[in-house]
Amino acid sequence: MENELELTKKRLIELSRRAYERGVPTFSEFLTPGEQTELGRLRIDEPYTLDGGYSEAERRVAVFGEETAPVCCLEVAPSSPKFAEELTHRDYLGSLMGLGLRRSVLGDIVLAEGRAYVFCLESVAGHIIDGLTQVRRTNVRVKRADSLPESVTAPPEETTLTAASERLDALVSAAFNLSRSESARLFEAERVFVNGLPARSASARPEEGDMVSVRGLGRFRFEGSLGETRKGRLRVSLRIYGK
Can you give the pLDDT at residue 2?
Answer: 60
What distance in Å separates the CA atoms of residue 242 and residue 157, rounded to the nearest whole number?
A: 12
Rounded to two decimals, the pTM is 0.81
Residue 55: the pLDDT is 86
DSSP string, the chain: ---HHHHHHHHHHHHHHHHHHH---EEEEEE-HHHHHHHHHS--SS-EEEE-SSTT-SSEEEEESS----EEEEEEEESSGGG-----HHHHHHHHHTTT--GGGEEEEEEETTEEEEEEEHHHHHHHHHH--EETTEEEEEEE-S---HHHHSPPPEEEEEES-SSHHHHHHHHHT--HHHHHHHHHTT-EEETTEE-S-TT--PPTT-EEEETTTEEEEEEEEEEE-TTSPEEEEEEEE--
Compute the distance between CA of residue 170 and CA of residue 222 in angstroms, rounded to an integer: 12
From first to last of its 243 residues, the chain has per-residue pLDDT tens of 468 888 999 999 999 999 999 989 999 999 999 899 899 889 887 889 999 999 889 999 999 988 899 999 999 999 998 888 999 999 999 999 999 999 999 999 999 889 999 999 999 999 999 999 999 999 999 999 988 888 777 788 899 999 999 999 999 999 999 998 999 999 999 999 998 888 989 999 999 999 999 988 989 999 999 998 888 889 999 999 865
